[in-house]
Amino acid sequence: MARKIGSRYTAHQILGRGSAGTVWLGEGPEGAVAIKLLREDLAADQELVGRFVQERAALLGLADPHVVGVRDLVVDGNDLALVMELVRGTDLRTRLERERRLAPAAAVAIAADVADGLAAAHAARIVHRDVKPENVLLDMQGPLGPGGAHPALLTDFGIARLVDVPRRLPQTPAGGSTVPLRSTKVIGTPDYLAPEIIEGLPPRASVDVYALATVLYELLAGFTPFGGGHPGAVLRRHVTESVAPLPGIPDELWQLLLQCLAKAPASRLRAPELAARLRELLPSLAGMPPLDIDEPEDEQPEDAPESAAGTRDEAFPPPAASGEATPPRGAVPLVQGTAPDSNRDTHTSMRVPGPDELAGGAHGTARAPRATGERRAGSARHRASPEAVRRRRIRLGAAAAALVVAAGLGGWLASGDDDAGDATPGVHQSGPDAP
């Protein structure tokens, strides 16, 4: 059933649902578009509407072949909508679920495209903050690239920021210089969160590079480097553990991944350099099959961190809702009449764990993947079936997933306050306010 969105657009059918709203296939004066209609409760939030309007110029101005362009922002009665370029194809999560692991050339080509998109955003002083396979769309109408990869476009710019509740934190002690800020809530999707966000620092461009490197690892391995188990355990691993090597991965690619997954933001490459280095690797990866590795063992519930009192700590609440009933994530189909992806709740809020909580886990290497058939001696853990892994991913990705977008928002006052360690000085999440 068609419905009008503002005076210029008509929404025809649902393409899918995310945590912030529903995406519709629609039409406007310039042809077919995708319209993201934000949830009613968000649309009723006057502050959020204000931020929408404020961010308008930044969102509309971000033009790059690897960024899903925002064409318009509509504020009309109860409707709050982002009108976007329509990408005819699928999202990267759907492709990954179908193939489990991508050939290195395809994975690297997709990551290079996303790095290009990030480079454009960072140049415009916008940090994405929620880079993950769900937010990468594959344009099936674009030319086939290396490894059979269609062009990749990064979407959902600004959504995390808009839906978030930025707070201007007290800036300076009496007569002193700016205090380093710690946020009190963590936002994002646990598997892709950079350690500095978990530690409460404002998100800089380098968090996107870390998230993209996590996505690339996942495309190659079929699982993320620090995922698995309770969301709190995932957060802790980001901060305390090193990445387990992937058997069979070409060394240069591994070194690149390691550099971008560095705990120290300053050690990571910037997005333009990452894009260039990935593209340089492409010829050497041509024809290489997907890596032949097993999933790591599933995590046990005891991975959930415990407080000093020995009870599950409130910093790590259980996922808001079970993902078991969540249907598979939808594609962005060329086809019509798609059912909504899910009725996922919006971002789950977690408070930033304290240093003791983060240090609670053993320092070590994340669950080591093994070459196929290789047994792990003495392991008491059972191996997860692919189905269990899939369900675990959905649980984490969907329910606990978008851990919140509540704070980190020291970034709003980041102007002139970039930490020296930032890979892209001057970049912060508040596009339009940026100096």
Ligand X SMILES: Nc1ncnc2c1ncn2[C@@H]1O[C@H](COP(=O)(O)OP(=O)(O)OP(=O)(O)O)[C@@H](O)[C@H]1O
Give the footprint of ligand X on this chain (CB under 6 A).
15-20, 23, 34, 36, 68, 84-87, 91, 134-135, 137, 155-156, 330, 332, 341, 402
- Least distance from ligand X to the Cβ atom of residue 66, Å: 13
Q: Does 64 participate in catalysis according to the annotation?
A: no
Residues β-bridged to residue 152 = 138
Out of 79, 130, 191, 313, the active site residue is 130
Which residue number, 153 or 249, has a Cβ lying nearer to ligand X?
153
Which residue number, 72 or 341, has a Cβ lying nearer to ligand X?
341
Q: How far apart are CA 54 and CA 71, in angstroms?
A: 15
Which residue number, 342 or 424, has a Cβ lying nearer to ligand X?
342
Q: Which two tokens stand for residue 314?
A: 């409130």
- Least distance from ligand X to the Cβ atom of residue 333, Å: 8
Residues contacting residue 159 through CB under 8 Å, at least 6 positions apart: 20, 36, 82, 130
Which residue number, 270 or 344, has a Cβ lying nearer to ligand X?
344
- Least distance from ligand X to the Cβ atom of residue 14, Å: 8
- Least distance from ligand X to the Cβ atom of residue 22, Å: 7
The residue number with the shortest CB distance to ligand X is: 18
- Least distance from ligand X to the Cβ atom of residue 214, Å: 15
Which residue number, 20 or 413, has a Cβ lying nearer to ligand X?
20
Catalytic site residues?
130
